Structure formats: structure tokens, C-alpha cells
Amino acid sequence: MRLFKIRGGVHPEDRKLLSAAEPIADLPLPPLLHIPLQQHIGAPATPAVRRGEQVAKGQLLAPNQGQLSAPVHAPTSGRIVGIGSFPAHHASGLNVRTISLQPDGEDRWSNAIEGIADPFALAPAEIAARVSAAGIVGMGGATFPSAVKLNLRERYRLHTLVINGAECEPYLTCDDRLMREQAAAVVDGVRIMAHALGVTRILIGIENNKPDAQAAMEQAARLDDRIRVVHLPTRYPMGSEKHLVQTLIGHETPARGLTADVGVVVHNPATAFAVHEALRYGRPLVSRVMTVSGGAIRRPGNLRVPLGAPLQYLVDHCGGFEVEPARLISGGPMMGQPLPSTRVPAVKGSNGLLALTAEESRRRATMPCIRCAGCVRACPCGLLPLEMAAHARTGDLERVADLGLMDCIGCGSCAYVCPSHIPLVQYFNYAKGELAARGRIKQKRIETKRLAEQRAQRMAAIQRAKREAMAQRKRAAATQKSQATNTD
């Protein structure tokens, strides 16, 4: 199959050998699970259980609130010991609404769990509804509710489903191991999603540094002539959804558009596996595979983790820290988010926990830009990072936006190649956040003005009504007086 070239990109040392040979192992249940009510991009789910209540594995703990929200289910059986606040799986470390569950050790599934013998007999809308009820979100890190993507057939002319098995971030091997060990289940989930989307072509893109995964998926997909396993060049950020689609079909997604605009929907292998579990067995998303790696981890590996498990429990299961980590990261080192501590829980979007040594973290003193344009050559979006950073430093954020800030995918390729060690991505993330904050303030002002105008209109209408009523009373009094005079 012909592949199309994309601009930019880098070739960081992948360091996947630390955990690639380690089979997926089940993490034993920790003494306590802390299950955040917001593990998706939308509004937090609302608790449907009470403190002291006994729950079964897979039981609904909190239903979703709106289309972009996702429900939360019990990762195991046990007792609800609290509904309150707990540090979030986020760089801020701020508290979020959380349900705390004490496992009873039985790991007993709810009696309400029931699968479908033939998911392909279901209507596409029913498949999407079951995926939504199972709380499945994009497990590559985006946490966008998967059912929303499955319903895109209603608004777009779709022709291709792409499975993003690139896993281009260094260190991470969870998708690699999942495709090697559960290839048949992943392909089944892929076929179910293709049925829901009504597409006629399925492309599974896997980078060439995962030959075992490529072979396993080809074997599992051999009987479906719609599926093509595509061997991708090992290049970062091949896992960027828009760039992967451009590589595979040669069409560039419009700026700030969706891949659906060019007829393509992209899903992750872990999401496909979750769809298989939900449709075939009725199991909601209550666990996920994570890579625990980095030079500071004694025994790196891949673990199937119940959602809500404290990350320290994962570290302890992998032998603890070899040395004190210089940096903790959720996800990969290029696009992952720093973590405040290992106290925070595992969530649906956490595909990896990295504990990096000082040498691995590549922290260097920042020096002045030498105008080498290396960042321009590395940018896969064709932007001008050096110019954008210069304007961001001076606070000229409108100019940064004009230069294409919102097209930046935050891949970090520019910062990776910068010989001056300028934290370019941090500048862009700051600019995006600041512009979003300004936008909210502007919108608040507009809304305040609108409400003030509405109030002024209401007050004016009330005054007019009062004047008209007064005038009417005066006319009535005058008429009555006139009639009384005529009578006399």
C-alpha cells in the first residue's frame, strides 16, 4: 500500500525495550480505589450511590451528564466508603469529586452484566448506545466519548475506519502488548465499530518497531478482506490522528476540522478492545492496560489496572524506585503531563506512568534562540515555532494565534530539536490557556451586557406598562366624572 509523506517529525530514542518484552500482568486489587467522576472531556458524572452501599463489579456508580460526558462504573465489588474530593490525575494536583471504594476481594461481577451473542445484528445506533452506557472513551489519551464518534455517520459521509496502533511515544508499550496478546478481541471490536460507522474500509496502522503486533493483527484479520494492516515508518508523531490519516489516505484534514471531514474516523486499539468487551460480554470500562516504565522503575512492565488504583501501588508492584525519579509523567515523555505525586489514581485516559531519572528528563539550561530554524523543519503542522514563541514571550498572543497557534498539536517535536533548550511547547500551552481565559472573560462580559440590556428592556417595558395603566385610569376617571356631570 502506498504511503504519503508528511512534513516534519523527529526520531527520538524509543526506549521501548524496557517493557516491550513484558506480558500484560493483572495488578492485584489495592486496599482502596479512588474513582474520579470526571475521566472524560465533558461534565462530571453524578453519583448514584451512597456511602456504605455495597456494589458489584461493573455496577453503575455515576451516570453521565450530557453527550460529552461518560458514566463511571465500579472497578470491583466492595463497599462505598466515601464520596468527596481527592487529588486529580492532572498536573495541577487539584481535588476533584471522587468515589472511594473498598474492595471486598471477591471481584464479583454485577448480575445485570449481559452481552450480545451477535453484535452485528444490532442497529448502528444501538451499538453506539451500548458503547456510551459502558463508559468507553478514547483510550489513547484524548478521553473523548467513543459513542460520539460512532454516531458521526449521521452527519458525515464516512468511508474508512483507521485504528491508530502507531504508539509513537517513547517508552509506551501497552498498545503493542494488547495487540500481540489480544489481537482477535481487538479485531472483533474493530469490526463492530466499522459496522456501527457503516464504512467499507479498515486500516490498522502499526509502526515498524512493533513487528510482533503487526504479525498478530494480520493473522487475526486475515478472514476480513476489508481490513488492511499497514506497516508505518517509525517516526514521531506518527500517532497524531490527522497526520496518520494523511499518511494513509493522502488527504489533509482542514485546519481545526475533524478527520470525519475527509471521511475518516480514528480509534485506538485499546478502545476497540473495550468495545469488544462491552458488546460481547456487557462489561463496562473498569480497567485498562498501562505501561509502567522509565529509568527510575526497578522492573518496568505492562499492567492491567483497575481504574482508581493509586499509582504508587503500580510502582510498588514493579519493585519500587531504583533511584528517586527526577520527573513523573502520565503518558509519554513528549506529550504526557507531569504528575504531582504517585498518590493520584489511574484513570481511563492514563496509558502510562513514567518515572524518569535526571539524565532521561533532559533538563537543560535555556539559552537564547540562535535562529537555526530546526523547530520549523521539525514541526509536522508547518508552523513557525520560533516566531510564535517570540510573540508569546512578549504577551502578543493575538499574533501567536494569527501564526497558527490553534493548529499546534503540542507534540513537542520543536522543543526536542531545539539546541537552545527553549521550552517551546510550554509557551504554546500557556498561550492557549491564556487565550481561552481571555475568551471566557470576553464571553462573560458579552453575557453580562446582554443580561443588562435585557433587564433595561424589562424595566422600560414595566415603566411603559405603568404609564399606560396610569393613563388608562385617568381616562376612566375623566369619563366617569363626565358622565356624572351629564347626569346632574
CA 335 to chain centre: 12
pLDDT score at 1: 81
CB count in 10 Å sphere of residue 38: 22
pLDDT reading at 55 higher than 80: yes
Q: Which residues pair with 72 in a beta bridge?
A: 62
Place of cell 498572543: 397
pLDDT score at 180: 98
Burial of 276 from C-beta contacts in 10 A (0-12 / 13-18 / 19+): buried
Q: Report the C-alpha gap between 371 and 427 in whole angstroms.
A: 17
Q: Report the C-alpha gap between 386 and 32 in whole angstroms.
A: 47
pLDDT score at 488: 60
Nearest to 88 by CA among 412, 355, 338: 338
CB count in 10 Å sphere of residue 251: 16
Q: Report the C-alpha gap between 202 and 237 in whole angstroms.
A: 21
**Average pLDDT score over residue span 165-192:** 97
Q: What is the pLDDT of residues 440-466, one digit of tens each?
A: 898 999 999 999 999 999 999 999 999
361 or 279, greater pLDDT? 279
- Please enumerate in sequence order all residues whose Cβ is within 8 A of that of 96, keeping only pairs 6 or more positions apart, or say none: 36, 37, 38, 44, 85, 86, 87, 88
Mapped onto helix, strand or coil, the DSSP state of residue 355 is strand
Whether residue 237 has a cis bond before it, omega within 30° of 0: yes
Q: What is residue 299's DSSP assignment?
A: S
Q: Report the C-alpha gap between 260 and 140 in whole angstroms.
A: 18
The model's pTM: 0.89
Q: What are the E-state strand segments in 108-220?
A: 160-165, 201-207
Q: H or E element: which one contains 337?
A: strand 337-338
Indicate the average pLDDT of the chain. 93
Most confident of the following: 187-191, 367-371, 389-393, 472-476: 187-191
Q: What is the pLDDT of residues 299-318, one digit of tens each?
A: 999 999 999 999 999 999 99
- Sign, CA torsion 186/264/174/304: negative
